[in-house]
Structure 1
Amino acid sequence: MMWKRVGMILAVFLLAACSNESEQPAPTLGADAKVAKAYLEEQGYDVVSYKGNRMSSFEKADLLELPTQSTWQVQMTPPDDYIGRDIRHENFIVRNHPLDEVAELGQTNVSVMMVDGEIIGGTSYPDSAEPLTGASYSLDGKTAEELHPDYMEWRSEWEAKYSE
């Protein structure tokens, strides 16, 4: 009788231990995520998975610091209207993106930036098993230098504007 009770207690502990190691449930797509996913599909990307979202905000001085500067220098929308506002980043892994071949996994992380349900831009970076460093790419995989052909001149104007 005692051994049966010990066995039951052991079984309960084993089940509890195993259940703690299960992965978090996959994040579900809210309204903004659905808009972002549809936008990515319209751009020709195959959405592999949804990685959830996060919120951010920045002040004018942050535009001279990383990572804020790295994010905004690859946007087609100027940051001025979004200073001090909450920005939602809807994060996905996609395929059929220009950065797919940069790293070994053959897919790309994209972050769609939204304010009040509207897409204002985004960033991308190769999906890699190894940690990556460097500046952000635009949502479609371009560097700041590709988006601003006179990069040094553009950079000087940016620094003058946001250091005032």
Structure 2
Amino acid sequence: MMWKRIGILLAVVLLAACSDASEKPEPTLGADVKMAEAYLEEQGYEVVSYKGNRTSSFEKSDLLELPTRSTWEVQTTPPDEYIGRNIRQEHFIVRNHPLGQANVFVMMVDGEIIGGTSFPDSAEPLVGSSYSLDGKTSEELHPDYWTWREQWETKYSE
């Protein structure tokens, strides 16, 4: 009789555990992720997958060094307002991008999209600088690149 009660009690506990697990909501994506994803879709990109996020910051002197310089060279927003602030980068794989299937990092501060970077989605190791969020090089964004670069170096080395 005691074994029967233990068996029934065990069955009830297992059923309760199973039903409780099925009622838990699936993990949801945060507001920043949803905003970044919607932004990418508005640009005509098909989001294949979400790869996570990271947060970084930089100081003025970092703007003269890689990788910070190469990231900010391909932004249309100047970096000055973001020096010393946390920048969240939401990472996605997208299709229909000028680079083909691509990794994109949407840069956000306080829930606002401030820019981003991209690079081809490749199984092979890649070498070189980032592209802008829409696949442009720093030379495409700054047609007189060397003059622009001199001004950049003068401004951020002060």
Structure 1 residue 28: deviation in Å? 5.3
Question: Could you say which residue in structure 2 is the equivalent of 1:103?
Answer: none
Identity %: 81
Structure 1 residue 127: deviation in Å? 0.3
Question: Could you say which residue in structure 2 is the equivalent of 1:129?
Answer: 123
* Residue segments in structure 1 that go unaligned for 5+ positions in a row: 1-26, 101-106
Cα pair distance change 1:31/1:81, threshold 3 Å = same
Query: What amino acid maps onto 1:46 in structure 2?
Result: E
Question: Could you say which residue in structure 2 is the equivalent of 1:93?
Answer: 93
Query: What amino acid maps onto 2:45 in structure 1?
Result: Y
Alpha-carbon distance in 2 for matches of 1:28, 1:70: 33
**Are 1:110 and 1:125, in contact at CA under 8 Å, matched by a contact in 2?**
yes
Structure 1 residue 149: deviation in Å? 0.4
Residue 109 of structure 2, aligned match among 87, 112, 115? 115
Alpha-carbon distance in 1 for matches of 2:124, 2:143: 30
Q: 5 Å matches for 1:49-64?
A: 49-64=49-64
Going by fraction, where is helix more abundant, 1 or 2?
A: 2
3-state SS of paired residue (2:70): helix
TM-score by length of 2: 0.82
Residue 151 of structure 1, aligned match among 128, 145, 152? 145
Runs of 4+ off more than 6 Å: none
**Are 1:98 and 1:141, in contact at CA under 8 Å, matched by a contact in 2?**
yes
Question: Could you say which residue in structure 2 is the equivalent of 1:38?
Answer: 38
